[in-house]
Chain A
Amino acid sequence: MHSSIIRYRIFPLGDSAITIDFGNCIDETLNKEVIRRFNQLQQQPFPGMIEAVPAYNSLTIHYDMVAVRKKGTDALTIFQWVEQQLLERLEQPVEHSATKERYMKISVCYEKEFAPDIEQLAAIKNISVEEVIQFHTSKTYKVYMLGFLPGFTYMGEVDEKIAIPRKPQPVNIVAGSVGIAGKQTGIYPLASPGGWQIIGRTPLKLFDAKRDEPTLLRVGDLVQFYPVTKKEFEEIKITEL
């Protein structure tokens, strides 16, 4: 059941991908629609579809031009044929219940050695470090999308009281670092240059190429952070090896 009609716009992303754009903003309702449509396409891919990539407010589908040309018709360009396939699917309603949300608890050590930016964030926002931790752990966040790095989750939204812009220049960030960028929060699954303000670190492996499902979190998950001491961090880390 749709409470309102969700509008979208379709545009080509080059010659072998197509994007369905639900609006240039971060909005939970739109993101839910993205995830529903992503699931729908996973179940009903069109001939020549390679894969779909959900983002905050858009869903992009990569396709194989040669395979589409074989299936499609000469009356339409490859793009037009793909667009038609998508429009047909978008006209079909998708049930809300089709999307099951998982609830994931993520331990984070907010101690200074793991949180290079927490003191400055507290100072800028005129609150204590304890309050930063409290604000960060008091909400459940939604995984809106994965991107940037294997297993990197874009989650939101943090309380305005701890929202802070990313750094102007990227620095080297340790794997497991938990950061804030604007109202987004996220976890670096791998060591990488990055600009998010780091307020803690999780001992959990967000990404492990050896696992069957290499990423710990999926798009649509609900995430709750909880604070652990350095000792607990080390203990959990051992079990993760």
Chain B
Amino acid sequence: MSLKVIKSGILDTIQDNGRYGNQHLGINPAGAMDKYAMQVTNMLVGNKPGEAIIEMHFPAAVFMFTQPALIALGGADFSASINGEPVPKLHAIVVGKNDVLQFHKPVNGARVYLAVGGGLVADNWMNSYSTHLKAKAGGYQGRNLRKDDELLLRQPFSVSVQREEFIVLPWQADTKWSDDSKEILILPGNEWGRLTTESKENFTMTSFVITQQSDRMGYRLNNIPLHSITNEEVVSSAVSFGTIQLLPDGGLIVLMADHQTTGGYPRVAHVISAHHSKLAQMKAGDKIQFRLTDQQTAEELLIKQQQHLLQLQNACTFRLQQYFNK
């Protein structure tokens, strides 16, 4: 009745939309890094978009199913296989008892999502299943998955399937939405004006490299140091997913899902919400090119992204019904 970890990965955690309403207590939301991918992957198996899901980095865990299940993979491509046979991402897959899912090499992206139809049994802490590693709460015992962990399925997969083999269902989720920008779009932050004219130019005219010091909390970026026209301290104040802070050494940090609730470094810019997904799939060594945009464009892009998700959800529901009722 479970999904068993037979080999642990480097950082595999249960995540969802995140934990909101507690940031005034210093409790940050956590949640999936790539919420767009999380939602798409959940939709493929007929889950609600924010259902608890497994987020994996490379090298990722190896799983064995001790019962049949409907699963899907989304986000990054880590060259997944079931029982040694390659399986595509963004397809719903029916797996059988004793099927083994593993990941061989990072092809593109940084985070894979594994959704299981009906959802996984997970710890709810303050209205969220997302793993809070610092608080050691939520998800699977508040920690990353390890060898021999057994994740229980909330509902058994009861649809009878014809074959003993796993089945890749024939449709693929189309994750492309009307966004053709190659750059990561940003909005100026409250302290944008502190940057010198030259540094403002370098911000968007040159590219930044994501360094090894990058994790679920934030990405440290490498570039020629940026300069501020003032040394006036910023009194600590709230920050958000996508906030780009200017560090004292002239470097930048982009805050990600496990970011602190507040910060005292100048907030020079913010990555627009619609591009968090794109950002979350970047990894150390990747180059980021920023481009300034305005509030309205940022809002419109997010709404478009959301509309695409709704269409996808309808399509997935329809296909699943059609397939299993035929």
Extra inter-chain contacts (6) besides given A58-B235, A60-B240, A79-B295, CB under 8 Å: A15-B302, A55-B235, A55-B237, A56-B235, A149-B260, A150-B134
Q: Which of A138-192 contact B (CB under 8 A)?
A: 145-152, 154, 189-190, 192
Check: A135 CB closer than 8 A to any chain B CB: no
Q: Is A200 an interface residue (CB 8 A)?
A: no
Does B137 belong to the interface (CB within 8 Å)?
Answer: yes
> Which residue, of A26, A56, A150, A190, has the highest number of chain B Cβ atoms within 10 A?
A150
- List the B side residues contacting A154 at CB < 8 Å: 236
Please, how many angstroms separate the alpha-carbon atoms of A149 and B260 in the complex? Answer: 7
Partner of A51, one of B23, B134, B270: B23
User: 7 nearest interchain CB pairs?
Assistant: A147-B262, A14-B270, A60-B238, A209-B137, A15-B298, A146-B26, A53-B238
Q: Which residue of B lies closest to A80 (CB)?
A: B295
Q: Which of A15, A69, A150 contacts B27 (CB 8 A)?
A: A150
Residues of A within 8 A of B303 (CB): 65-66, 69
A173 to B203, CA, bound (A): 35
Binding stretch for chain B, among A16-24, A112-120, A126-134: A16-24
Interface bits A1-37 vs B (CB < 8 Å: 1, else 0): 0000000000111111101010011100000000000
CA–CA, A57 to B49, complex, Å? 37
Q: How far is the CA of A146 from the CA of B260 in the complex (A)?
A: 11
Decide yes or no whether A230 CB sits under 8 A from chain B: no
The residues of A that contact B190 with a CB separation of less than 8 Å are 11, 13, 19, 21
Asked if A93 is at the interface (CB within 8 A of a chain B CB), the reply is no
The answer to the question of B267 belonging to the interface, with a C-beta cut-off of 8 Å to chain A, is yes
The total of chain A residues at the interface (CB under 8 A) is 49
30 pairs from A and B in contact (CB 8 Å cutoff): A13-B240, A13-B267, A14-B240, A14-B298, A15-B272, A17-B238, A21-B190, A24-B235, A51-B24, A55-B262, A57-B237, A58-B237, A60-B238, A60-B240, A62-B23, A62-B238, A66-B303, A77-B295, A77-B299, A146-B26, A148-B26, A148-B261, A150-B25, A154-B236, A209-B125, A209-B132, A209-B137, A209-B142, A214-B25, A214-B27
A65-B238 Cα distance, complex, nearest whole Å:
18
Number of B residues, CB within 8 Å of A: 46
Given contacts A13-B267, A51-B20, A62-B20, contact A152 B236 (CB under 8 A): no
Q: Which residues of A contact B (CB under 8 A)?
A: 11-17, 19, 21, 24-26, 38, 50-58, 60, 62, 65-66, 69, 77-79, 145-152, 154, 189-190, 192, 207, 209-210, 214-215, 218-219
Q: Would you call A78 and B299 a contact (CB within 8 A)?
A: yes
| Residues in chain B near residue A54, CB distance under 8 A | 24
Residues of the B chain whose Cβ atoms lie less than 8 Å from the Cβ of A79: 295, 299
The interface of chain B, by Cβ under 8 A from chain A, is 20-28, 125-126, 132, 134-137, 142, 187, 189-190, 232, 234-240, 242-243, 260-263, 267, 270-273, 295-296, 298-299, 302-303, 306
Cross-chain contact B187 with A146 (CB below 8 angstroms) = no
CB <8 Å contact, B262 and A13: no
Contact in complex: B25, A151 (CB < 8 Å): yes
A24 to B236, CA, bound (A): 9
Kindly report which residue of chain B lies nearest to residue A23, judged by CB atoms.
B235
Q: Are A55 and B243 in contact (CB-based, < 8 A)?
A: no
Question: Are the C-beta atoms of B235 and A52 separated by less than 8 Å?
Answer: no
Closest chain A CB from B47 CB (angstroms): 19
Q: Which of B134, B237, B243 has the most CB of A within 10 A?
A: B237
Q: Which residues of B contact A78 (CB under 8 A)?
A: 299
Once bound together, how far apart are the Cα atoms of A56 and B270, in whole Å?
A: 21
Q: Are A15 and B20 in contact (CB under 8 A)?
A: no
